[in-house]
Amino acid sequence: MDNYSASLDSIFRALADPTRRAIVERLGRGPATVTELAQPFAMALPSLMKHVGVLEETGLIRSEKAGRVRTCVLQRQRLGAVEQWLGEQRAIWQARYGNLDELLVKLKGEDDEN
């Protein structure tokens, strides 16, 4: 497995969890402290920190500690790998749909001739 695939795998694994997706979504609006990130969830802070740890390991977020406050920031460039992969998949399927459209037009034309 190449680095690109391994990177995508780790990102998709991290984003498979709804809590982590919500954290990424929140950080898309700007930096937030761990306490701010924890507010919408009914879980203990140590549990939320495990989610933050997974996101940090994949490089989706970065956190800095100043005193007792840990602030998290989204690393948008890591989402670029996902965007690239999705763009490639979209192009493949658009080409397939285009081929299907052409085939249907051709078959309809043959039907009209008979």
* Per-residue pLDDT reduced to its tens digit, 22-55: 999 999 999 999 999 999 999 999 999 999 999 9
Residue range(s) defining the domain that contains residue 81: 3-113
H-run or E-run covering 89: helix 76-113
pLDDT for residue 112 is more than 80: no
In percent, the amount of the chain with pLDDT more than 70 equals 98
pLDDT of res. 76: 92
Arithmetic mean of pLDDT over the chain: 90
How many CB atoms lie under 10 A from the CB of residue 20? 20
CATH code, domain carrying 90: 1.10.10.10
- Domain count for the chain: 1
Residue 74 phi/psi, 5-degree rounding, is -75, 135
Please state, in angstroms and rounded to a whole number, the distance separating the CA atoms of residues 16 and 33. 22
Chain-centroid distance of CA 71 in Å reads: 21
pTM recorded for the entire structure: 0.76
- C-alpha closest to that of 58 among 90, 87, 28, 81: 81
